[in-house]
Homo-oligomer: A and B are copies of this chain.
Amino acid sequence: MDDQNAATDAGTAIAVAEESNQPIIGQKDKLEELCVNTIRFLAVDGVEKAKSGHPGTPMGMADMAFVIWTDFLRHDPTATKWTNRDRFVLSAGHASMLLYSMLHLTGYSDMTLDELKQFRQWDSRTAGHPEYGHAKGIEVTTGPLGQGFANGVGMGLAARMMAARFNGEDAFKPVDHYIYAICSDGDLMEGISSEAASIAGHLGLGNLIYFYDDNNISIEGETRLSFSEDIKKRFESCGWHVQKIDGHDRGAIRKAIKKAQKVTGQPSMIIAKTIIGWGSPKFHGTARAHGEPLGADEVKATKESLGWPAEPTFHIPVPVREEFLRKTKKLSRERKKWEKGFSEWKSRNVELAAQWDTYWSHKVPDNFESELVAAGNSDKALATRALSGQVIQKLAAIAPFVVGGSADLAPSTSTLMKEGGSIERSKGAEGQSPALDVFKGRNLHFGIREHAMGAVLNGMTLYGSFRAYGATFLIFSDYMRPSVRLAALMKVPSIFIYTHDSVFLGEDGPTHQPIEHLWALRLIPNMMLWRPADGAETALAWAAAVRSTDGPTVMVLTRQKLDPIPRTGPVDIKAIQHGAYLLEGFTEGNITFIATGSELSLAIKTAQLLGREGVKARVASAPCLDLFDRQSVDYQNSVLGDRKRVVAIEAGRSSGWYKYVEHGALIIGIDRYGASSPAERIAEELGFTPEKIAAKVREWM
């Protein structure tokens, strides 16, 4: 049976088992069929044992996965962090058993057969959806649809940027690989994939080779219930190279990948028509195959129809095992050959090699913090976004691996690296792909696509060589919240910059004025949110963000100018790194003001005003409550004092502060939507002036 026939017969019973001896099937085809069916039944058995999961998609995608992983994907299970490996992204994360099976079959040592049998069980490496960090070879956490699609774009962009920096005249090219991804209907329906596709097409990321598993089925039934796009036309409209194939025709899959590899100036989308639940006599091509186990009877019937032994489950025929190991050994040899070439390249290119190491190690100078604090210094009133802009210029000079951009707001977010150069489509002829040189730049232009920006940043950060930031207004953090959460869940140190952080942005009004966003972001576990009050705090927020290895940083900055915080002598870096600390000159008193960002100078002014009336007040700055939470209770008490005698001031929802103060304390927040008006009037009306706060404090005391 040749590939063409295999495709034609898709969905009908094909007996190609170990013991079968159909003469028309060549040895290679027979072995392949055996391999593909092994992948299918590992998924079927895994889901069946877990009594939970998605069998149909792995069954449908098995041909694709087999071809990608055995004929194309350059990886080495014994060197899983090899920089020049191809990345594989299973954007359709619900098909996780497919990925786990591939990792097991290709020899990733931590993905044992026992792990496959522990699918979806407590403490296993084989979670319901692939979780980054749970096992080697899982490049990214996927499951929330559309995210993987956009993460892959970030990886492809990072690869292009590394290639632009390091693939010089030398015959050896240190960065020379692809990003493979498999996406589902759901991925393509989510808006984030449209955003990311637009970015990828715009930048001509020819290193992306994406498959769309076009199986016509979603949870509610056939996709045509809600999905009737011309996908080919859609992707062409944003600059992709598109092919349409039969997703069960392995010859066609091979041809399509080869063609896609040759298209270097456009990302590739391969629309692969598949049958969900391929091989299941009853459920193939139906929604029933999507999200629940086939059930004992149908498993039996499916195994019978494909000539597969009913027992043992998780069966891996010996020839299959041998075939995968043979391929893996070959891959290992190829990787080692690359390492040799790379090591020779390093000795020929000493300076570049040193830079290379800086990129991958994220090495910063020993005096990193103090350099940034110096850069963030200002005697005059400046917005923290402007102070951050000063720090970014210093980062540009001393940390080459820091890159970033904004969602079409760079002039407003002050995030442009002035000397960094822009990554933008070359202004050549229509359809012409950007030259590699374009990717030498450090300033990214995400367009008005916050969600894709978040996921692209995650992909770039996961790639490994960059610390990447993305900026927008704080209100629009809502547009990208799923990606922010995933960074935190993955413990990936993406950097999210949010300016225009309160009602004091003024005239743009309630649609643009964050109220609940500070606390909503602080609720996301495993993330550091900084809301600095001056240049020193802004600089240390940046230092923490760049140094982080175990989670994302959110930086919240003002639009409006803030008076400098009085500091005599050198900045007390350690104090700020505690997340909250008492300000010098305000360490004694009967009440304690605690404030963040723009409200700190308000607290100081109120304390001074009350001081003239004989009320002595302490003032604490709390640039990072997430860090403060990690301090000892003694330290926390030393900052807060009597928790009933605290005045907390923050221009946002008040409720989060109850965690830090006792009932009876005074919390001055904003529990309504804002208003369109010059900021001064808003401050007056909402009671955010020293006089109004002093009056409230007097009444409260």
Contacts and interface: CB of A to CB of B under 8 A. Distances in A.
Nearest to A519: B523
A618 interface: no
Given A489-B673, A525-B672, A662-B663, A219 B411 contact: yes
A507 B408 contact: no
B511 A218 contact: no
A301 interface: no
Contacts of A411: 219-220
Given A191-B451, A676-B127, A511 B525 contact: no
Contact of A482 (B193, B479, B486, B681): B479
A124 B225 contact: no
Given A228-B239, A507-B120, A516-B525, A412 B479 contact: no
Contact of A448 (B185, B476, B525): B185
Choose among A50, A144, A232 the residue with the greatest number of B CB atoms under 10 Å from its CB.
Answer: A144
A226 B445 contact: yes
A452 B198 contact: no
A572 interface: no
A220 B409 contact: yes
A418 to B, nearest CB: 14
Nearest to A675: B122
Interface string A47-68: 0001011000000000000000
Contact of A507 (B50, B131, B191): B50
Tell me how many chains of this kind the complex includes.
2
A447 B227 contact: yes
A190 B479 CA distance: 9
A60 to B, nearest CB: 17
A198 B202 contact: no
A424 B224 CA distance: 9
A449 interface: yes
Contacts of A199: 226
A512 B655 contact: no
A509 interface: yes
Given A228-B202, A653-B523, A655-B523, A131 B677 contact: no
A53 B677 CA distance: 11
Contact of A476 (B144, B193, B450, B672): B144
Nearest to A193: B191
A638 interface: no
A643 interface: yes
A485 B672 CA distance: 12
A449 B193 CA distance: 11
Nearest to A444: B226
A208 B195 CA distance: 23
Contacts of A510: 127, 131, 489
Contact of A446 (B120, B127, B226, B520): B226
A192 B230 CA distance: 18
A453 to B, nearest CB: 10
Contacts of A450: 190
A206 to B, nearest CB: 15
Interface in A477-513: 478-479, 481-482, 485-486, 489, 506-512
B120 A509 contact: yes
Interface string A409-426: 111100000000010110
Choose among A422, A475, A481 the residue with the greatest number of B CB atoms under 10 Å from its CB.
Answer: A481
Given A122-B681, A447-B218, A129 B412 contact: no
B425 A224 contact: yes
Interface in A610-637: none
A426 to B, nearest CB: 11
Given A234-B238, A448-B185, A198 B227 contact: yes
Given A424-B226, A655-B656, A516 B512 contact: no
A37 interface: no
Contacts of A52: 506-507, 678
A265 interface: no
Contact of A447 (B202, B226, B409, B526): B226
A26 to B, nearest CB: 39
5 contacts: A52-B678, A141-B511, A185-B448, A202-B228, A655-B659
Given A122-B682, A202-B227, A227-B447, 9 more contacts: A120-B678, A121-B677, A126-B676, A129-B676, A201-B228, A219-B410, A220-B406, A224-B425, A230-B236
Interface of A: 50, 52-53, 93, 120-124, 126-129, 131, 141-145, 185-186, 189-195, 198-199, 201-202, 218-220, 223-234, 236-239, 406, 408-412, 422, 424-425, 427, 445-452, 475-476, 478-479, 481-482, 485-486, 489, 506-512, 515-516, 519-520, 523-526, 643, 653, 655-656, 658-659, 662-663, 671-673, 675-678, 681-682, 685
Give me the 3 closest cross-chain CB pairs, A-B, nearest first: A191-B191, A226-B447, A194-B194
